[in-house]
A and B are shown apart, each in its own frame.
Chain A
């Protein structure tokens, strides 16, 4: 008994320095940032030795989401959503596809694996610079067709001003309800095959009700802004998305390839004898078995996409409104405009969005460990 408590004391003392350091420099600073985001620190005099910081509540957040002048931030936020979705779909889809090809053990698999993984070793600044050249309006990718006698492409990969999937920020609440309804119905349809009644009660029903409410009662919802403000998917972000997918597809490929290699040959043989084609083997056996890897990839890529900064900086510069990102905006607001409180608010918004991805993951991991 005494030995056990001595062990605990030793463990505590060993952990103490890191607990203190993490407490101060991670959680303390997050707390400090939250506090700053609730003040009015900024503007003239913000760099004074003892600047004025008055508590203003959630005014900074309200300004970011509904303020007249913060349209740039809102477009950045929309961009961040598209960056995330496209990076996830692109890097996971492409990575998985390459992994499946390499899993079939073609000749030179080792070399190919290294080649596909190599972009990971470059910094974002380097790959950003390379892709800026590749996607230049009158060079790189655009002149590829001329090698086979066709006209060059004219698409402006990083400087287009066109946007698709546009929506009015005024209808923010309605759009959020549509999205929620869409997700609920999607999950419901997926669950319908296994347990129709539960799917209808838990997912499909609420989804349809919310969707119908958003459609019929959309006009009675409060509007987020007093004027129309359209945002959408800016085509200029396509180039940046391509570059990021290129950089991270190799990484997801490595994750999946390691997973595929870990599946025993017997399981593959069993699937073959059970009548599964190659496609069915991956669809029903291999990919579902690698769910933990997919979840890890989603978590890692989504937090990378929320912290995108340097590749945008390198490809289109910090001031291109079309390709902005909240992380860039945060930097500019804080260190160029010296609006520390607003910058802190943006940081906290990003932090919360990242937490939305990571917390459920951590909770499920914790539960699994407790169960196992």
Chain B
């Protein structure tokens, strides 16, 4: 177990720079998830930590050792690949024991470690099978077992669940979490799925175009996104972003969105001056309907016209147009049956609003 430090890490392919000086400290025992859209460089970062990709600048250290020049096999990291990368000609036992064989461990040690991992992962009945005779979930487990038997300093996961169906993915996600709670091995996990990121991570790192956008706990990046990109990327459905203008009248701070005027709670947008344009971010679940609006102040209410409503079992999604121009997505509790065209009262949890600068798209303090 070890911490991992990236200092000003740069990756260039020829003249094209894809990772632009990343700084990141992964603490010992921490579960870090790198998340971002495809092409953002998250897999490249992971492969650089593994040593499969040379770095063009900066420094990577594992534990207290700089590993820039250390070959992958000497970094004591284990990686789980998206397509599992199991050796097709070897049995499950041989696949899991391969790294120990390469490290010339004794037969007894190999057997006991493989047996132990197989027991934990419930793979014992399949030890003599070839990967082609296993289901997707079992293969995934073998890939994890292969990483576990090594007792590495760092686990690296490269989109390990994306080849599984939705149900299995949820189940494996839980198992991964349990495995980390038991083993406490420092883990760097790459995914494009923000739900995986939210559920697994101690801290999430959001990447875009080779730049880190934000590092923080799942709740932090959800409630206090650094910029519009993070706000829209984390959370599903994404955050509603409305264009507005800030104003002050009689010492009261407000924002004008179209013809409507809403109060701005204290502590948000303190640096704004009267007449400043801004973007207002509101999570879909910060929009309330029905009796839930009762506990919100009256000036946080307004009326909206329902465009579409979808009932998703325990909660419902509604597309609502406010003032005939601002479209919002609301995620409300319960089964709300609303007909298109119906005018309904809605309330906003403005204490959860996030304000952004429309030019830089960065969050305003």
Contacts and interface: CB of A to CB of B under 8 A. Distances in A.
A273 B79 contact: yes
Interface stretch (B85-93, B284-292, B327-335): B85-93
Contact of A273 (B72, B83, B86): B72
A284 B94 CA distance: 11
Given A269-B52, A270-B79, A276 B73 contact: yes
B222 interface: no
A273 B73 contact: yes
Contact of B50 (A271, A273, A280): A273
Given A273-B72, A273-B78, A264 B88 contact: no
Contact of B85 (A270, A289, A291): A270
A288 B87 CA distance: 10
Contacts of B99: 273-275
Interface in A135-182: none
Contacts of B47: 269
A285 interface: yes
Given A267-B85, A285-B87, A273 B102 contact: no
Given A280-B102, A284-B98, A273 B77 contact: yes
Interface in A258-291: 264, 266-267, 269-277, 280, 284-285, 288-289, 291
A289 B72 contact: no
B252 interface: no
A274 B98 contact: yes
A270 B95 CA distance: 11
Contact of A289 (B77, B79, B88, B146): B88
Nearest to B104: A275
A61 to B, nearest CB: 42
Interface residues of B, number: 24
Contacts of B301: none
A264 B52 contact: no
B103 interface: yes
Contacts of A266: 81-83, 85
Contacts of B77: 273
B83 A264 contact: yes
Interface string B33-74: 000000000000001001010000000000000000001110
B81 A270 contact: yes
A96 to B, nearest CB: 17
Contact of A272 (B52, B101, B103): B52
A269 B83 CA distance: 12
Contacts of A274: 73, 98-99, 102, 146, 150
A275 to B, nearest CB: 4
A311 B224 CA distance: 79
A271 B78 CA distance: 11
A191 to B, nearest CB: 15
Nearest to A270: B85
Contact of B89 (A269, A273, A276, A289): A289
A4 to B, nearest CB: 32
A266 B50 CA distance: 12
A9 B47 CA distance: 58
6 contacts: A264-B83, A266-B83, A269-B50, A269-B79, A269-B81, A273-B77
Given A267-B87, A269-B47, A273-B77, 13 more contacts: A266-B85, A269-B52, A269-B85, A270-B79, A270-B86, A271-B87, A271-B98, A272-B71, A272-B72, A273-B79, A275-B102, A276-B73, A289-B89
